[in-house]
Structures are given as C-alpha cells and as structure tokens.
A = this chain, B = another copy of it.
C-alpha cells in the first residue's frame, strides 16, 4: 500500500515526540491509518541530540519541506507565529495537508489559514493546539456535533493549575510555587504567557470557535492572570466551599459571546474543581447531552505527539482509501461561520468573591452592604474574623449573588472610597457551572 508521506518541521519537544511515537508504534498506526506513515522529510535548523531522523531527507530550511512534492502531510512543530505562518501558508498553497500543535498560530492567524486551506481543497488540523493529548477539538466538532453548546469552561494551562494547586494545598505564595514549576520544567523562565493567561486565551478562542460556530476571535478575549492571587484568598475560598482555578470560559448569551480567562472560584464538589497539578480538563455544556468533561495531560512531548498523530491518522484514513478530507476543521466551512457580537466585560454576569480590610468598628458592614444593595447586589455569604490583638482592621470576605461586572465595579469604587476601608478590594469571579 502506498505510504502516506509526512514532512516534519521542528524536532524539539513536539517534533521529537512525533518521531519517537512513530518509531515505537509505527506498525500499529499504519494498520489504523490504512497505510504506512512515513516521515520522508525533516526540516530543522540544527540536529538535536537523541533525535533520530532515520532515512528522511533533512533540510536546514523548513520551507524546503513545504516545497517538497514528495510530502502529502506537513507537520508544523517549529512554534512561534512568524516563521510558522510562512511555512504553513506555503505548504497549503503547495496543496499539502497541514497538522500543527501551534495554538498561537491558529488563534491569531487561523481565520486566514483555514480559508486558504479551504480554497486549496486541503485540511489544516490542530487537535494538539488545545489541552495537549485530550481529544477535545474532535469531541466538540464531532462527538458533540448534535448539540448547541451553551458554555464551556476549561483548565487549559497546566502551569497555572500546578501553581494554584501548590498554593492551595500547601498554603504557599505564588512566586514560591512558580519557582518550583520552573525548576521542574513546567514553567518557562519568562512565565508571562502561562500565568497571565495568554496561552489559555489562545486555546479558549479555538475551543469557542468550534463550539459556537464562529470565527476565531483572539482580539476579543478578556485575559486576567493569577499572579496577584494570595494563599489567604485561596484559604478563604476553601473555607467558603470553593477552589480557585484559572479558567477559560466561553458562553453564548442572548446578548453576545463571552470569551474570558481569569481566576475563578468553583464549588469544591464539581469534578472540574478536583483537577489538580499540571493536568488539563474541559467541561462542556451541550443542550442534548448535558455536561461532559474531558481530562488528561495538557502538555509534554508524548501527549502532544499523540494529538498530532491523531490528526495525521484521521487524514491518512481518508487519503489511504482514495477519499478527500471533507470535514471543515472548525466544523463548518469558513463562509458559514457566524459573526456573533462579543459581550462587553461590563455586562458579564457572575457571582463575586470580595475581600476587604475594614476598620474594626460597628457600622462598617452595614455601609458596605448598602453600597452593594444600591447596585442590586446582595450578600450570599460572609466571613468576618475577630481582630488579632493590636490589629485595628479586620479582613472581611463577601460572596455576592450574580451581578454584572459593571455594577460590581461601581460598588467596589464606592466601597474603596469609604474612610473605614483600607486599600483596594480584592475581587474574584465565582462560577457555579451548573449542568
């Protein structure tokens, strides 16, 4: 049987993982794909110790792989957005199918690249771009295709979840657990992409496009990181029955689409709240199926290669049987995607966790309560600790009912202006994610 010929660009963690996986499981995969999967051309700027490229042609210029007529499917694993954009464009224009793990590329340039793929009659697939080895893109696009999705919420950055788990379980400071994550190789030297939510925003945009049949809207994601969270807030959350997670949330409302990444209090009893350490999980609410959850490794060479090769096998299963690959990658042809308005953050409604430092004297809480009430916000739970000896201020923690961010912010401004309140009010959103 004619082999499916793969061009592999990049032999770092992802590309190396692909080579290792094909080396180990090649025969099994050939059976499933309906044809041998052969890496015929490797593009890599330099060799990498321990990575064997076998009998493949090796080019220092990755663009040579895109131009190689012997390549059926190009796997892009060079990362970044500039060179990868050029590489993927050229491969699509040369009539090749492309598989990538590059979330930034898809989130930021996917609309253009997917339209190009469609015009060329080829596929651009990216299962590995979101939640590593968890087949969440396939689940949304195919497994849940009979549903209208009302919302999805995911722990889609393992670094952040590792840090929050460490902070919560060991009452440690953010910077301390971050340093551990860096030592373990879970976090980069510059952790901005992970801890400030940019990586999660890339992934959320991709999930939302498939779930809600919209174009990719990276321009529209609200992003808030976890670096300002304190062990105290996590401990108060615990006392109130919640766990703090860094969530990506997408929800369709009658007024527009919510796209937001931020720290979130989740009820402890939710399965999503129990996802610990570097793992990822995505919870999806469909109108027919109800809530379903997908859990596993969100990063690492093996897990990412698993998803890359799942895409390759999907394509090879069609190609080996003489078929085209007709399934649009976002579930719909690009021209049929909806242009949903994005709900402004001021109108996004959630419950809230507020922590304030209040003077330890009568009447303060009634002032706070009145200010919240003026914005239509009521208090659902409250923790007020007795002052330690010598303290003149006490921490007060408030859980509100569901309120728009706009109303909440107006109330917080007024609370912060109170003479009896010191410093800024800490605020964290709460999601119940009822199924």
- Chain B contacts of A86 at CB under 8 A? none
Is A159's beta carbon under 8 Å from chain B?
no
A288 touches B302 (CB 8 A): yes
Is A31's beta carbon under 8 Å from chain B?
yes
B292 touches A296 (CB 8 A): yes
- Chain B contacts of A394 at CB under 8 A? none
- Chain B contacts of A308 at CB under 8 A? 146
- Chain B contacts of A288 at CB under 8 A? 17, 21, 25, 133, 302-303, 305-306, 309
Is A294's beta carbon under 8 Å from chain B?
yes
Interface flags, A326-351, vs B, CB<8A=1, else 0: 11000110001000000000000000
Q: For window 247-296 of chain A, which residues contact chain B by CB distance below 8 Å? A: 271, 274-275, 286-296
Partner of A143 from B135, B147, B271 at Cβ < 8 Å = B135
Is A176's beta carbon under 8 Å from chain B?
no
CB nearest neighbor in B for A140: B135
- Chain B contacts of A139 at CB under 8 A? 135, 138-139, 143
A326 touches B327 (CB 8 A): no
A293 touches B296 (CB 8 A): yes
Is A213's beta carbon under 8 Å from chain B?
yes
B292 touches A134 (CB 8 A): yes
B306 touches A286 (CB 8 A): yes
A142 touches B289 (CB 8 A): no
Segment at the interface with B among A44-52, A69-77, A315-323, A383-391: A315-323
Q: How far is the CB of A188 from chain B (nearest CB, A)?
A: 22
- Chain B contacts of A271 at CB under 8 A? 271, 274-275, 295
Looking at A287, A296, A324, the one whose CB has the most chain B CB atoms below 10 A away is A296
Is A195's beta carbon under 8 Å from chain B?
no
Q: For window 182-219 of chain A, which residues contact chain B by CB distance below 8 Å? A: 213
Partner of A306 from B134, B135, B147, B336 at Cβ < 8 Å = B147
Is A313's beta carbon under 8 Å from chain B?
yes
Interface flags, A121-146, vs B, CB<8A=1, else 0: 00000010000111100110011111
Is A1's beta carbon under 8 Å from chain B?
no
The complex places the Cα of A287 from the Cα of B303 at a distance, in Å, of 9
- Chain B contacts of A132 at CB under 8 A? 289
This chain: how many copies in the complex? 2
Partner of A302 from B142, B289, B318 at Cβ < 8 Å = B289
The complex places the Cα of A371 from the Cα of B33 at a distance, in Å, of 52
Is A172's beta carbon under 8 Å from chain B?
no
Q: For window 297-314 of chain A, which residues contact chain B by CB distance below 8 Å? A: 297, 300, 302-303, 305-310, 312-314
Q: Indicate whether A303 sits within 8 Å of B289 (C-beta atoms), given known contacts A31-B332, A145-B313.
A: yes
- Chain B contacts of A317 at CB under 8 A? 326-327
Q: For window 93-126 of chain A, which residues contact chain B by CB distance below 8 Å? A: none
The complex places the Cα of A294 from the Cα of B283 at a distance, in Å, of 10
Is A32's beta carbon under 8 Å from chain B?
yes
The complex places the Cα of A159 from the Cα of B231 at a distance, in Å, of 40
- Chain B contacts of A133 at CB under 8 A? 286, 288-290, 292
Is A29's beta carbon under 8 Å from chain B?
yes
Q: How far is the CB of A309 from chain B (nearest CB, A)?
A: 3
- Chain B contacts of A297 at CB under 8 A? 289-292
Q: Indicate whether A25 sits within 8 Å of B143 (C-beta atoms), given known contacts A32-B332, A271-B295, A323-B324.
A: no
The complex places the Cα of A287 from the Cα of B23 at a distance, in Å, of 13
A309 touches B25 (CB 8 A): no
Q: For window 39-80 of chain A, which residues contact chain B by CB distance below 8 Å? A: none
- Ranked nearest first, the 10 interchain pairs of A and B with the lowest CB-CB distance are A135-B143, A292-B296, A146-B309, A133-B289, A288-B306, A289-B306, A321-B326, A293-B295, A145-B313, A288-B302
